[in-house]
Chains A and B, each alone.
Chain A
Amino acid sequence: MKTIYVDNNATTRVAPEVFEEMTPYLTELYGNPSSMHFFGGQVQQKVEEARERVAGLLGARPQEIIFTSCGTESDNAAIMSALQCNPEKRHVLTTRVEHPAVKNLVAHLKRQGYRVTELPVDRHGLISMEDVSQAITADTAIVSVMWANNETGVLFPVEEIATLAKSRGVIFHTDAVQAVGKIPINMAESQIDMLSLSGHKLHAPKGIGVLYVRRGTRFAPFVIGGHQEGGRRGGTENVPYIIGLGKACEMAAIDIEEKNLKVKSLRDKLENGLLEMVGNSIINGDREQRLPNTSSISFEYVEGESILLKLSDKGICASSGSACTSGSLEPSHVLRAMGVPFTAAHGSIRFSLSSYNTEEEIDYILEVVPPIIEQLREISPFWKGAMTQSCAAS
């Protein structure tokens, strides 16, 4: 059976070019970049080249790039640094739809006595700039808002928020894990102070991330140790992965807009096809302010795990915001924050594409999905109204 991989917001395939670039550093070229000898020195050169490549994709300076172990570490480092550098400030401002890397960190901070504001989103998944402006106080240490939502692909006006935060003297961080590589980013013309990215979302391996810290932004290290990364992140560099990420960023920067236009046209074909063929289906999230690769679509009256399992039997890999798939009993916090009705939230499927997807694959998905939904609706007591829907009456 052929694998049709449309779960690229979960992780992506490592590009063959990336793997090739990494291999020598997993085998013969094993030196430590900190060593004084030539054997380590050549590795260090390659690490610095990777730093330049990452900086190139972001429109940043190489010194502004700190390599970390993952997106979660980057998010943690950014927020904890802002709090450490502003010990008199006790307020963190974020949104209700952040990734657990931020969401659970701020919940932890709340338990430690910090004040946390999580801004609501409207039914399209968008936040209001007025809410942001009102929520920033003299006590606010950091504003952290994701660039793009992982479940719906909805884009947040991070540049605008960064400008607002700057004018109020507050540090702004964005979790750009889902945005980097999918939309053009230029830190040279931005007011964003800190930005997180993760390698495995853009065809580098899992286990490598970056925290961008704008020159002049005060920074307190999160992982304390040796002098690596200019003393901003201790620990021997994950050399092969850093080099792999450098290559992935270099590749992502080439024709970024054209590549993503192609991805967008495939996504739109998939989405429009499904909406047309499957009644009672709804797109979650604003359709304009959105990543080009993501489609969160809800099929009413059926449950997401059932759909995923049937898709999986046909070789199609997607994901769902339904309760059953996460091991939790409630649908995703993102869909709930948007007020997606339960009729739809439990039946949400996320398709996330990459430039490796083809038109044939989309045609195949369009052929497979409608009968699956029909089949499950035949079983569902809600589809033909056999059962009404009260909760506590169960």
Chain B
Amino acid sequence: MWVYTDKVRELFNNPKNVGEVEDADGVGEVGSLSCGDALKLTFKLDDKGRIIDAKFQTFGCASAIASSSALTEMIIGKTLDEAAKITNQDIVEFLGGLPDKKMHCSVMGQEALRAAIANYRGEKLPKEDSEIVCECFGVSEKEIVDAIQHNSLTTLEQVTDYTKAGGGCGNCHERIEAILQEIMGQAGAEPKPEKPAKPRLSNIQRMKLIEDTLEKEIKPSLAKDGGSIELVDIDGDRVLVSLRGACATCAASDITLKHYVESKLRELVTDTLVVEEVSP
């Protein structure tokens, strides 16, 4: 069982500022049902630009609810510039600490706040331009980099605790390790080994390699989630596939296709390949 601080338990049992602010000036939504937690933050500003009211709705565990409640208490009375400085660590401090495995709840609070402020200002969030690293939980490279830098993370487990990235299928573990290496390496400045150039392949060799990669690399990995993939045709650089099993009905399948199947094929065969889904 988790050990929560008294403050977490108090805010979980008697959360403050539950609901939705009417005519909100800023709305921030992060997370989803499939990810296991989600937070909708709304706030209203007074005529001096201070947050006069803030409310939350949260789906999630006790620490997610407590983090959300804490967040609303922390931002009320602040200007947006002051509020924007609040980090997940401030939320953790307010709560008197969170278990390691629950750090992502505080990060969710910080992200909802950023999203709500960006929504008010009509700005795009930087993460929207950033590549998704963890497909299972939709975590971008920017979010991972931020969490590593703000919390001085050094291990994959910590990144998962703070952002959830890597907590699902595990396909992105290498990418996360690479990001960690890069950030930690900036202090030590270790030169990155150059990738060996891929040998030129004949058409038949290339087709065979695509087939082999699908069979030996991609299929077993999709099978872990009850999915599968069939090669339908190869047309130049276009690899036509059809998804089967759980993948066929999964809402995240297009992400799987682009970010996993395509990048794997590019990595192991040719970096110009494009994967397209066709009906069987």
Q: Which residues of A contact B (CB under 8 A)?
A: 96, 120, 301-303, 305-306, 309-310, 313, 322-325, 327-331, 336-337, 339, 342-343, 346, 378-382, 386-387, 389-394
Of B59, B137, B226, the contact of A301 (CB 8 Å cutoff): B59
3 A-B pairs closest in CB distance:
A329-B167, A392-B138, A381-B57
B232 at the interface (CB under 8 A from A): no
B30 at the interface (CB under 8 A from A): yes
Q: A381 — which chain B residues lie within 8 A by C-beta?
A: 29, 38-40, 57-59
Q: Which chain B residues in 55-101 approach chain A with CB under 8 Å?
A: 57-62, 64-65, 101
How many of B's residues come within 8 Å of A, CB to CB?
Answer: 43
Separation of A390 and B254 alpha carbons in the complex (Å): 13
Q: Are B135 and A303 in contact (CB under 8 A)?
A: no
B268 at the interface (CB under 8 A from A): no
Separation of A28 and B64 alpha carbons in the complex (Å): 53
Given contacts A306-B62, A336-B225, A337-B226, 12 further A-B contacts (CB under 8 A): A310-B13, A324-B37, A329-B137, A330-B136, A342-B36, A343-B33, A381-B57, A382-B33, A386-B40, A390-B32, A393-B32, A393-B138
Which B-chain residue is minimally distant from A377 (CB atoms)? Answer: B59
Q: Are B59 and A380 in contact (CB under 8 A)?
A: yes
Q: Are A382 and B59 in contact (CB under 8 A)?
A: yes
Q: Are B61 and A306 in contact (CB under 8 A)?
A: yes
Which A-chain residue is minimally distant from B245 (CB atoms)? Answer: A120
Q: B18 — which chain A residues lie within 8 A by C-beta?
A: 378-379
What DSSP secondary structure best describes chain A's contact surface? loop
Distance from B160 Cβ to chain A, minimum over Cβ atoms (Å): 7
B31 at the interface (CB under 8 A from A): yes
Task: Pick the most buried of A303, A329, A337: most chain B CB atoms within 10 A of its CB.
Answer: A329
Q: B12 — which chain A residues lie within 8 A by C-beta?
A: 306, 309
Q: Are A392 and B61 in contact (CB under 8 A)?
A: no
Q: Are A389 and B61 in contact (CB under 8 A)?
A: no
Q: Are A379 and B13 in contact (CB under 8 A)?
A: no
Q: B20 — which chain A residues lie within 8 A by C-beta?
A: 386
Distance from B150 Cβ to chain A, minimum over Cβ atoms (Å): 18
Q: Which chain B residues in 10-42 approach chain A with CB under 8 Å?
A: 12-13, 15, 18, 20, 29-40
Separation of A342 and B246 alpha carbons in the complex (Å): 14
Q: Are A387 and B58 in contact (CB under 8 A)?
A: no
B164-204 to A contact mask, C-beta < 8 Å, 1/0: 10011000000000000000000000000000000000000
Task: Pick the most buried of B30, B34, B38, B246: most chain A CB atoms within 10 A of its CB.
Answer: B34
Of A303, A336, A337, the contact of B60 (CB 8 Å cutoff): A303
Given contacts A392-B255, A394-B30, contact A327 B168 (CB under 8 A): no
B222 at the interface (CB under 8 A from A): no
B132 at the interface (CB under 8 A from A): yes
Of B36, B40, B225, the contact of A331 (CB 8 Å cutoff): B36
B278 at the interface (CB under 8 A from A): no
Q: B35 — which chain A residues lie within 8 A by C-beta?
A: 391, 394
Q: Are A329 and B61 in contact (CB under 8 A)?
A: no
Q: Are A329 and B40 in contact (CB under 8 A)?
A: no
Task: Pick the most buried of B29, B139, B164: most chain A CB atoms within 10 A of its CB.
Answer: B29
Which A-chain residue is minimally distant from B4 (CB atoms)? Answer: A309
Separation of A337 and B245 alpha carbons in the complex (Å): 11
Can you list 19 A-B contacts with CB-CB less than 8 angstroms, sorted by A residue number? A303-B59, A305-B2, A305-B61, A306-B60, A322-B36, A324-B37, A324-B60, A329-B137, A330-B167, A346-B33, A379-B15, A379-B58, A386-B57, A387-B40, A389-B33, A390-B32, A392-B132, A392-B255, A394-B35
Which B-chain residue is minimally distant from A110 (CB atoms)? Answer: B220
Separation of A329 and B37 alpha carbons in the complex (Å): 10
Q: A324 — which chain B residues lie within 8 A by C-beta?
A: 36-37, 60-61
Q: Are A120 and B226 in contact (CB under 8 A)?
A: yes
Of A327, A331, A337, A380, the contact of B57 (CB 8 Å cutoff): A380
